[in-house]
């Protein structure tokens, strides 16, 4: 296999592997505008593909409360991994004559291990996000929008920056958008590369120029967010659902998933790891892992599937037997994991679970903000134990200590969801692959106890 | 009020607090790290987890952080829950994975909150068997030592230093478990409150460097309830002694005054007490001034008293010079010795005029003096002519809290509990209560002010009068006010009138009675409008307020009486005349006087001139009463007996010396006197001071029939303290003056409320966090009552507006008006004699406005000579952008040859001069 750089490998992953023919406007609201050649959809092309019609129409015809109600009915659940209803979140934003208008923040700090779905939209279809933010900003009475973009997404940064400028030139951002009387503008903020900035309150702190420590909730950002003002933070993919919901209505959105799931709409699913064709697919939410894996061409030759992470490094392992489950928020949640970002990472029988976890926990330990004790000091301990097990130098009590960490670093013991997320793959692996951990215990120390 | 159920028991609490605060106030033990009563909750350390249930029937419950959970009515919680207990032990285990376990060599050991919490949670087995991360430490200046490896990352230091105290040079760097709390580079911590880090830090990262230099464990020290002598605020302190030396000063909780924090001058300025050159025996010098080596001979007590009595007996008239740094009792005994008509309080006339004006304002302008804590509750503050950070630092910290308190008001309005520290900060952003400052130079508080003006004293007064006139048109108007002034006055008056509790702060720093009159006029005007306004006036020295109440003539009068032949003998009490008046003036009097008796604990220039010097006790070896700027009489108690470790020393409290001298003089019988007798005598002679007797505990106070212990009960090595002197162990020193013993024998518990607590200790609570066991609620008041009594009450109605409004300040062409401005480090007489303060003090400079400097071609740092009729001084120039034109400033504590208001010339020093200096 020819050597490829890390970035080009990711580029290779970050492609939609569905033909234009398959992607129709009424079935693929997120991706139907994408070009076959993977190039960025510019302003004119976007407009030619019904772009900004939803926003202009919404600003003219709908009240903010009406937008929020429609979003609630459509039940668009947070695609960053939280699965919280965007409409409900918007409804909790404090508005009132006494209160200042606040901020809309797009969380584009996509850093979940194995996840590259937002990147596709940011690089190739930035105007969909801009249009979505105009509508969301209108609904939330925000006066300014920020796109908090992962710093390493260099191409996305230029793509989004260009789109903002194009929209501004067209009078779609700025004051009195399209004669609607609504003022709204967007700034692009590129992060400095911390996973925790994906946590919405840490993101806000980082945006304000402070340490990226999460904030205690309550008060929620909707009450006191960026610079103390009411603030809505939504994921890229979540926002990108907004224009089609406004255009076609809540029922249409619900209907997109058919009978596959209670959740409505489509989902950008993806696969990475040792499969034949890693990539992304927009499919009805609730599509099974097996179908997604088949679209990826199945496991690479010589490999069989041992386990899979359904939606990033902070979701629990599932087994091949779980492949037929519908990939939606509630179902996956019932099997000791989470849908997360919906981008699957496969684990081959030839890969060591302990090593994989060591890699993951090293990432999570490094990315701990250092605010609360269990996360800051517990994660490095698990890394050291996993390293010892990897070297075959473990002690018998290590497995118990790891198990205690899966409890001690779980909600509500930690300040935010970072450590609980980090514990999810560990907790499931300790249940599913215990023998691999036990194999890392040094034989000498076993003699000592028996 | 709310009812909370803790482990099945119902308690009544104030529902506005969080559960941790509420439970600690109830006397229940929940371990914590990141929470601090003065800084509230952030939920970082996760140490205070408890189980919370939905209702009575919920058996499942869930863990919550008690500091981040409201104590709402009908809460059901369990501290004793197994899951909660396990988790709390886990938290300590995690913290310990990187803690070096170096308690045996750690200065914090024995008064360490981390030790206490570790024991409290029961974590006692180490399972972590990997390497620990290490850090490099930083040099942070002469006050605070740094050992980052001990850090448990609770964030309290940066929260105190930056959020609470307004510092900017301490930060948290890095992330994950590689956090670093320190400066961006090595160097002196800039905040004058940096010393509080040693108490805010729950372990040994930030420790007292001055203590480190002469270290002993907390349990091996002797403590007494004491009062800081380094300024007029009168913070309560707890000095610790071992082997006849003060080892460190810690904060002593006072619910209305300093609460949890001290300034660095007070905490680290005690070194003068330990100086080896201190007079420890009476000294006798032969007649005539010895220009050569000091020919002083040491005397025993009786001969010293006899000779002293002889000196005074042979004098025609004896003048007594008291001191605002000595106790009421000592000053009163001096008055008794020389008579009221022959008593000077040792304060120079200009300062005394200000002090008397302040006393008059406070009793007549109709506004109460708030306590330091009450200052924090004022919602608009005007500071006229004071740089609080230098003249009353602890008060500056309180003013900062008053300004920031707007955060709480905003949070309350939005339903965010005020204890949710980060949320409150986020919501409020830069919102502040208005603070206005008029002062000749810039001040540290300017950056949180809504407006600051750099003005000459006369203009500060004019601004003040203008404000008063806007508030009440019956107050005289200021004529010829320019536009900017009028606008400023309007802005300030508007904010003061709009506030619920406006506060006016002024004082004697500029030695201007006009500024005080202006402040008084504003106070008077406000008293007619705002019901809860306040007036706070800053004095310079520990007992300036008390001495004003005792009365007496200014220092110049005393010297004139000698020089002009109306008297021929002087008795000087704890006062170095050379730091108060120009040398020539002092020398003239001392040369003329036939007898000079000096009582002091420092080898001052005045002491060196004494025929008879009587070795006085410093505040750590003496008892007495001071009156602070709140008008609060407070007792300070002797920490240790000097003669126990140094049997040769003949140090006595000044009031005891003076009483004995008087008895010798009148050939009386009984020369013994106790503190209670001295205090009562003073109270009897001065009706205004009648309450000082009740300000503290009398010698016969007992708890459970025993005296109070000065040492913790684990005190060790008592029998070997003097082993290097003699093998036989003398009887423990007796203390006839106070209810305290010089040992660990006696009561030292926390459950019996008492006003005076030498050191904070409660079972399981060895660190100063134990103060929470002594208060009625956490952050509240001592259960036995906060120490001291307030002596001054306002009598409304008697004040008349001052009509003497000064003309606007006119800069002169070739002369500058001199201002001697207070400075925290180096500007106070006794603390300046302490090495770390000397090290911390900035190099003195001459301050001049940048415009004036440019006009005269003086460059920053150039050597300038300041000249008056009688004196000259050469110092480097500091160009001050904001100083008004026509003013030259000099830091206090440099020279007594100059005083505020003098007119001076400035010349660039020639190269010869410069070389000579270098």
pLDDT of residue B294: 72
Q: Quote the distance between the C-alpha of residue A191 and its chain's center.
A: 16
Same domain flag for B596 and B634? no
Tell me the mean pLDDT in the region A147-157.
Answer: 96
The total of structural domains in chain B comes to: 5
Instruction: Determine the residue of chain B that is closest to A229 in CA distance.
Output: B427
Contacts 24+ apart (CB under 8 A), A87-96: A89/A222, A89/A232, A89/A234, A90/A136, A90/A139, A90/A140, A90/A232, A92/A220, A92/A222, A92/A223, A93/A140, A93/A141, A93/A222, A93/A230, A93/A231, A93/A232, A94/A222, A94/A223, A94/A230, A95/A140, A95/A141, A95/A230
Asked if residue B828 belongs to a domain, the reply is yes
CA distance A100 to chain B (A): 12
Same domain? B714 vs B777: yes
Mind listing the pLDDT tens digit for each residue in A317-338?
999 999 999 999 999 999 999 9
Would you state the pLDDT for residue B792? 84
Q: Of B54, B77, B95, which residue sits at a domain end?
A: B95
The CATH number of residue B533's host domain is 3.40.228
Chain A contact set for B127 (CB, 8 A): 397, 401
B177 and A215 within 8 Å at the Cβ level: the answer is no
Residue B155 C-alpha, separation from nearest chain A C-alpha, in angstroms: 8
Q: Which of B63, B172, B416 sits opposite A412 (nearest CB)?
A: B63
Q: Which domains does chain A have, with CATH numbers?
A: 22-254 (3.40.50.11540), 256-348 (3.10.20.600), 353-449 (1.20.1440.230)
CA B534, CA B536: separation in Å to the nearest integer?
A: 7
Q: What is the DSSP letter of B395?
A: H
Q: Please write the tens of the pLDDT for every residue from B840-859.
A: 999 999 999 999 999 999 99
Decide: helix, strand or coil at residue B190.
Answer: coil
> Which chain B residues touch A376 with a CB distance below 8 Å?
94, 153, 176-177, 179
Please indicate, yes or no, whether residues B321 and B426 belong to a single structural domain of this protein. no
Q: Does residue B155 lie in a domain region?
A: no
Residue range B789-806: mean pLDDT, rounded: 84
Q: Would B574 be classed as within a structural domain? A: yes
A382 preceded by a cis bond (ω within 30 of 0): no
Are B46 and A215 within 8 A, CB to CB? Answer: no
Q: Are A291 and A300 in contact (CB under 8 A)?
A: no
Q: Within an 8 Å CB–CB cutoff, is residue B179 touching chain A? A: yes
Q: Which of A99-113, B50-64, B278-292, B603-617 has the lowest mean pLDDT?
A: B278-292
Q: Would you state the pLDDT for residue A10? A: 55
Interface test with A, best of B31, B426, B431 (most A CBs within 10 A): B426
Asked if A381's CB is within 8 angstroms of B176's CB, the reply is no
> Residue B176: which of A228, A368, A374 has the nearest Cβ?
A368
Task: Supply the CATH number for residue B864's domain.
Answer: 2.40.40.20
* Residues of chain B found within 8 Å of residue A380, distances taken between Cβ atoms: 97, 176-177
Q: Provide, as residue numbers in chain B, all residues whose Cβ is less than 8 Å from the Cβ of A365.
A: 176-177
Predicted local distance difference test score (pLDDT) of residue A150: 97
CA distance B654 to B49: 54
Backbone φ, ψ for residue B215 (5° rounding): -80, 135
Interface contact flag, A376 B177, Cβ < 8 Å = yes
Q: Looking at CA atoms only, how far is residue A364 from chain B in angstroms?
A: 9
What is the reported pLDDT for B687? 96
Distance between A21 CA and the closest CA of chain B, angstroms: 48
pLDDT at B913 over 50: no
Note whether B841 and B910 are same-domain residues. Answer: yes
By CA distance, what is B92's nearest residue in A? A373
Contact between chains at A370 and B175 (C-beta distance less than 8 A): yes
* pLDDT score for B917: 40
One domain for residues B283 and B259: no
What's the token pair of residue B9?
């028991």
Cβ–Cβ gap B177/A216 under 8 Å: no
Q: Which of B44, B133, B177, B431 to mutate to test the interface with A (most CBs of A within 10 A)?
A: B177
Instruction: Reply yes or no on whether the pLDDT at A441 is more than 80.
Output: yes
Which string of DSSP letters, residue by residue, matches B553-594? B-HHHHHHHHHTTS--EEEEES--GGGTS-HHHHHHHHHH-S
Model-level pTM? 0.96
| CB pair distance less than 8 Å for A216 and B427 | no
**B363 and B511 assigned to the same domain:** yes
On whether both B231 and B282 belong to a single domain, the answer is: no
Report how far Cα A80 is from the mean position of its chain's Cα atoms: 3
Q: Any chain A CB within 8 A of the CB of B129?
A: yes
- Residue B259: inside a domain: yes
Cα of A159 to nearest chain B Cα, Å: 31
Give the tens place of pLDDT for each residue, B25-71.
999 999 999 999 999 999 999 999 999 999 999 999 999 999 999 99
User: Which alpha helices (DSSP H) does B151-205 contain, by range?
Assistant: 156-158, 197-200
Q: What is the percent of chain A where pLDDT is above 90?
A: 91
CB proximity list for B606: less than 8 A, separation 6 or greater: B572, B575, B576, B577, B578, B586, B590, B598, B600
* Per-residue model confidence (pLDDT) at position B524: 93
- Identify the band that residue A99 occupies on the pLDDT scale cut at 50, 70 and 90: confident
Q: Which of residues 608-667 of B touch A (CB under 8 A)?
A: none
| Structural domain for B75, as ranges | 2-95
The encoded tokens of residue B270 equal 């005690």
| CA-based nearest distance A370→chain B, Å | 4
Q: Is the pLDDT of residue A3 over 50?
A: no
Mean pLDDT of B807-829: 95
- For A249-294, write each residue's pLDDT tens digit: 999 999 999 889 999 999 999 999 999 999 999 999 999 999 999 9
Residues of chain A in contact with residue B95, where contact means CB-CB under 8 angstroms, are 373, 377
pLDDT at B918: 37
Are the Cβ atoms of B177 and A224 closer than 8 angstroms?
no
Determine the average pLDDT of the residues in B109-133. 96
pLDDT in tens, B633-643: 999 999 999 99
CA distance A130 to A117: 17
B60 in contact with A at a CB cutoff of 8 Å? no
Q: Is residue B116 a part of any domain in this protein? A: no
Quickly list DSSP for B845-897. -EEEEHHHHHHHT--TT-EEEEE-SS-EEEEEEEEETTSPTTEEEEETTS-SS
Give B695: exposed, middle or buried? Use CB within 10 Å, 0-12, 13-18, 19+: buried
Collapsing DSSP states into helix, strand and coil, what is residue A268?
strand
Answer yes or no: is B37 within a domain.
yes
Q: Chain A interface residues facing chain B, Cβ-Cβ under 8 Å?
A: 194, 211-212, 215-216, 218-219, 223-224, 227-228, 365-374, 376-381, 384, 388, 395, 397, 401, 404, 408, 412-415
Q: Is B103 strand, coil or helix?
A: helix
Q: Is the C-alpha dihedral spanning A353, A354, A357, A358 positive or negative?
A: negative
Contact present, A372 and A415 (Cβ < 8 Å): yes
SS3 A114: coil
Read off the pLDDT of residues B645-666 as tens digits, 9 standing for 90 and up: 999 999 999 999 999 999 999 9
* Average pLDDT over all residues of chain B: 95
With vertex at residue B601, the alpha carbon angle to CA B596 and CA B602, rounded to the nearest 5 degrees, is 85
Minimum-distance CB partner of A413 among B42, B49, B130: B49
Residue A228 to residue B427, Cβ atoms within 8 A: yes
Q: Looking at the structure, tell me whether residues B332 and B443 fall in a common domain.
A: no
CATH of the domain at B336: 3.40.50.740
Determine the average pLDDT of the residues in B206-225: 96
CB of B188 within 8 Å of a chain A CB? The answer is no
Q: Is the pLDDT of residue B78 over 60?
A: yes
Q: Which residues of A touch B178 (CB under 8 A)?
A: 370
B527 and B419 within one domain: yes
Find which of A373, A409, A415 to mutate to test the B interface (most B CBs within 10 Å of its CB): A373
Per-residue pLDDT tens for B222-277?
999 999 999 999 999 999 999 999 999 999 999 999 999 999 999 999 999 999 99
- B286 pLDDT exceeds 50? yes
Inter-chain Cβ pairs, chain A and chain B, closer than 8 A: 107
Residue B590 lies in a domain: yes
pLDDT confidence of residue A161: 98
Cα separation, B883 vs B440, in Å, equals 6
pLDDT digits (tens, 9 = 90+) for A183-194: 999 999 999 989
Higher confidence at residue A448 or residue B324?
B324
Chain B CA closest to residue A204 = B426
- Say yes or no for a CB contact (<8 Å) between B179 and A216: no
Residue A120 predicted with pLDDT over 90: yes
The residue among B520, B545, B570 that closes a domain is: B545
Percent of chain B residues topping a pLDDT of 90: 92
- For B458-492, how does the pLDDT look when each residue is reduced to its tens digit (9 = 90+)? 999 999 999 999 999 999 999 999 899 999 999 99
pLDDT for the residue B292:
58
Are B407 and B485 members of one domain? yes
Q: Which of B33, B91, B175, B202 to mutate to test the interface with A (most CBs of A within 10 A)?
A: B175
pLDDT at B796: 66
Residue of B nearest to A400 (CA): B127
For residue B185, give how far its alpha carbon lies from the nearest alpha carbon of chain A (Å): 19
What pLDDT, in 10s, does the model give residues B502-521? 999 999 999 999 999 999 99
Q: What pLDDT sits at residue A1? A: 39
Q: Please say if the pLDDT value at position A148 is more than 90.
A: yes
Question: Is pLDDT at B874 greater than 70 in this prediction?
Answer: yes
pLDDT of res. A94: 79
- Identify which of A226, A197, A225, A231 has the alpha carbon closest to the alpha carbon of residue A213: A197
Interface contact flag, A216 B420, Cβ < 8 Å: yes
**Is residue B225, in this structure, part of any structural domain at all?**
yes
User: Quick check: B910 pLDDT over 80?
Assistant: no
Same domain as B833, residue B783: no
Q: Are residues B757 and B883 in the same domain?
A: no
CA distance A384 to chain B (A): 7
The alpha-carbon gap from B111 to the nearest alpha carbon of chain A, in Å, equals 23
Q: Which of B545, B565, B589 is the last residue of a domain?
A: B545
Asked if B426 is an interface residue toward chain A (Cβ–Cβ < 8 A), one would say yes
């Amino acid at each position: 296999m020819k050597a490829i750089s890390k970035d080009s490998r990711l580029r290779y992953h970050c492609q939609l592997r569905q033909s234009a023919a398959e992607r129709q406007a009424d079935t693929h609201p997120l991706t139907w505008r994408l070009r076959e050649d993977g190039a960025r959809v510019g302003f004119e092309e976007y407009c030619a593909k019904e772009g900004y019609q939803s926003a202009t129409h919404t600003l003219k015809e709908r009240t903010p409360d009406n937008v929020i109600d429609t979003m609630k009915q459509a039940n668009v659940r947070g695609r960053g991994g939280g699965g919280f209803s965007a409409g409900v979140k918007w409804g909790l934003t404090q508005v009132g004559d006494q209160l200042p208008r606040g901020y809309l923040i797009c969380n584009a700090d996509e850093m979940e291990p194995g996840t590259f779905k937002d990147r596709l939209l940011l690089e190739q279809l930035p105007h969909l996000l801009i249009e979505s933010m105009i509508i969301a900003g209108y609904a939330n009475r925000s006066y300014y929008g920020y796109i908090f973009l992962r710093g390493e997404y260099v191409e996305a940064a230029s793509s989004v920056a260009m789109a903002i400028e194009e929209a501004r030139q067209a009078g779609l951002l700025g004051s009195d958008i399209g004669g609607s009387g609504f003022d709204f503008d967007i700034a692009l903020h590129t992060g400095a590369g911390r996973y925790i900035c994906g946590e919405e309150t840490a993101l806000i702190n980082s945006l304000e120029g402070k340490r990226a420590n999460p904030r205690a909730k309550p008060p929620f950002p909707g009450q006191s967010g960026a610079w103390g003002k009411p603030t809505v933070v939504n994921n890229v993919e979540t926002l990108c659902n907004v224009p089609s919901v406004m255009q076609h209505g809540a029922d249409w959105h619900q209907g997109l998933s058919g009978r596959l799931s209670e959740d409505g709409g489509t989902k950008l699913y993806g696969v990475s790891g040792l499969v034949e064709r890693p990539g992304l697919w927009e499919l009805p939410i609730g599509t099974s892992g097996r179908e997604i894996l088949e679209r990826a061409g199945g496991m690479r030759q010589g490999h069989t599937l041992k386990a899979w992470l359904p939606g990033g490094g902070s979701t629990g392992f599932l087994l091949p037997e779980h492949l037929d489950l519908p990939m939606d928020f509630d179902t996956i949640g019932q099997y000791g994991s989470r849908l997360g970002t919906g981008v699957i990472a496969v684990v081959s029988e030839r890969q060591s679970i302990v090593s994989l976890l060591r890699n993951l926990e090293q990432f999570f330990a490094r990315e701990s903000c250092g605010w609360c004790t269990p996360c800051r000091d517990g994660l490095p301990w698990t890394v050291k134990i996993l390293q010892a097990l990897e070297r075959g130098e473990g002690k018998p009590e290590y497995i118990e200590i790891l198990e205690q960490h899966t409890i001690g670093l779980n909600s509500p013991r930690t300040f935010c969801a970072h450590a609980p997320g980090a514990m999810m793959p560990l907790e499931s692996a300790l249940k599913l692959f215990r023998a691999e951990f036990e194999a890392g215990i040094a034989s000498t120390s076993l003699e000592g106890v028996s | 009020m709310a009812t909370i159920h803790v482990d099945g028991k119902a308690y009544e609490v104030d529902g506005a607090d969080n559960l941790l605060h509420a439970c600690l106030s109830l006397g229940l033990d929940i371990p914590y790290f990141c929470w601090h009563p003065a800084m509230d909750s952030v939920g970082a350390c996760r140490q205070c987890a408890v189980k919370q249930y939905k209702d009575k029937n919920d058996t499942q419950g869930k863990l919550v952080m008690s500091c981040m959970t409201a104590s709402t009515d009908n809460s059901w919680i369990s501290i004793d829950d197994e899951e909660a207990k396990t988790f709390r032990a886990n938290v300590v285990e995690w913290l310990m994975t990187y803690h070096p376990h170096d308690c045996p060599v750690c200065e914090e050991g024995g008064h360490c909150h981390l030790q206490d919490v570790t024991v409290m949670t029961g974590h006692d087995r180490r399972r972590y068997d990997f390497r620990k991360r290490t850090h490099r430490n930083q040099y942070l200046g002469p006050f605070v030592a740094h050992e980052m490896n001990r850090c448990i990352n609770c964030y309290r230091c940066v929260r105190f230093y930056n959020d609470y105290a307004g510092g900017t040079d301490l930060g948290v760097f890095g992330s994950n478990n590689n956090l670093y709390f320190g400066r961006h580079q090595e160097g002196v911590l800039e905040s004058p409150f940096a010393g509080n880090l040693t108490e805010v830090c729950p372990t040994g990262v930030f420790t007292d460097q001055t203590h480190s230099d002469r270290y002993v464990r907390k349990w091996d020290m002797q403590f007494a309830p004491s009062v800081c002598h380094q300024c007029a605020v009168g913070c309560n302190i707890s000095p610790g002694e071992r082997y006849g030396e003060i080892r460190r000063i810690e904060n002593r909780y006072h619910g209305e005054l300093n609460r949890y924090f001290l300034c660095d001058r007070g905490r680290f300025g005690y070194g003068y007490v330990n100086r080896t050159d201190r007079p420890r025996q009476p000294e006798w010098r032969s007649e005539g001034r010895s220009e050569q080596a000091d020919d002083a001979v040491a005397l025993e007590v009786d001969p010293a008293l006899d000779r002293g009595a002889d000196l005074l007996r042979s004098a025609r008239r004896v003048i007594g010079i008291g001191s605002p740094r000595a106790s009421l009792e000592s000053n009163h005994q001096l008055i008794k010795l020389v008579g009221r008509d022959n008593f000077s309080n040792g304060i120079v006339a200009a300062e005394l005029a200000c002090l008397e004006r302040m006393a008059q304002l406070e009793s007549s302008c109709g506004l109460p003096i708030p306590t330091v804590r009450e200052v924090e509750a004022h919602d608009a503050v005007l500071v006229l002519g004071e740089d609080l950070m230098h003249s009353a630092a602890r008060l500056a910290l309180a003013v900062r809290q008053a300004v920031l308190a707007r955060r709480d008001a905003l949070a309350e309005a939005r339903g965010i509990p005020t204890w949710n520290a980060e949320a409150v900060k986020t919501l409020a952003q830069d919102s502040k209560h208005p603070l206005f400052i008029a002062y000749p130079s810039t001040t540290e508080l300017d950056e949180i002010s809504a407006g600051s003006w750099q003005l000459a004293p006369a203009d500060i007064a004019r601004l003040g009068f203008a404000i008063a006139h806007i508030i009440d048109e019956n107050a005289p108007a200021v004529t010829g006010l320019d536009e900017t002034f009028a606008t400023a006055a309007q802005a300030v008056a508007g904010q003061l009138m709009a506030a619920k509790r406006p506060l006016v702060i002024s004082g004697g720093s500029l030695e201007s009675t006009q500024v005080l009159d202006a402040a008084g006029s504003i106070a008077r005007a406000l008293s007619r409008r705002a019901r809860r306004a306040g007036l706070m006036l800053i004095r310079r020295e520990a007992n300036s307020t008390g001495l004003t109440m005792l009365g007496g003539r200014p220092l110049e009068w005393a010297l004139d009486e000698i020089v002009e032949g109306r008297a021929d003998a002087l008795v000087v009490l704890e006062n170095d005349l050379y730091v108060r008046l120009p040398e020539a003036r002092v020398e003239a009097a001392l040369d003329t006087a036939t007898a000079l008796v000096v009582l002091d604990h420092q080898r001052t220039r005045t002491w060196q001139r004494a025929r008879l010097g009587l070795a006085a006790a410093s505040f750590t070896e003496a008892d007495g009463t001071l009156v602070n700027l709140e008008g609060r009489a407070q007792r300070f108690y002797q920490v240790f007996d000097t003669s126990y470790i140094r049997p040769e020393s003949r140090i006595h409290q000044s009031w005891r010396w003076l009483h004995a001298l008087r008895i010798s003089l009148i050939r009386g019988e009984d020369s013994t006197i106790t503190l209670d007798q001295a205090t009562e005598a003073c109270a009897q002679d001065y009706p205004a001071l009648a309450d000082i007797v009740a300000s503290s505990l009398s010698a016969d106070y007992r708890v459970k029939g025993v005296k109070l212990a000065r040492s913790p009960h684990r005190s060790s090595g008592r029998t070997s303290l003097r082993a290097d002197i003699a093998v036989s162990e003398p009887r423990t020193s007796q203390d006839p003056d106070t209810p305290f013993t010089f040992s660990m024998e006696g009561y030292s518990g926390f459950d019996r409320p008492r006003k005076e607590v030498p050191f904070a200790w409660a079972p399981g609570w060895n660190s100063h966090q134990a103060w929470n066991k002594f208060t009625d609620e956490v952050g509240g008041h001592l259960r036995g009552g906060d120490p001291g009594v307030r002596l001054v009450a306002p009598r409304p109605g008697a004040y008349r507006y001052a009509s003497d409004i000064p003309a606007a300040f006119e800069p002169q062409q070739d002369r500058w008006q001199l201002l001697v401005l207070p400075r925290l480090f180096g500007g106070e007489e006794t603390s300046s004699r302490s090495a770390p303060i000397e090290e911390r003090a900035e190099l003195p400079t001459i301050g001049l406005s940048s415009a004036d400097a440019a006009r005269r071609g003086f460059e920053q740092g150039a050597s300038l000579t300041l000249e008056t009729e009688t004196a000259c001084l050469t110092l480097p120039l500091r160009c001050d952008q904001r100083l008004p034109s026509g003013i030259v400033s000099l830091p206090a504590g440099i020279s007594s040859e100059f005083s505020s208001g003098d007119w001076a010339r400035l010349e660039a020093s020639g190269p010869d001069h410069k070389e000579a200096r270098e």
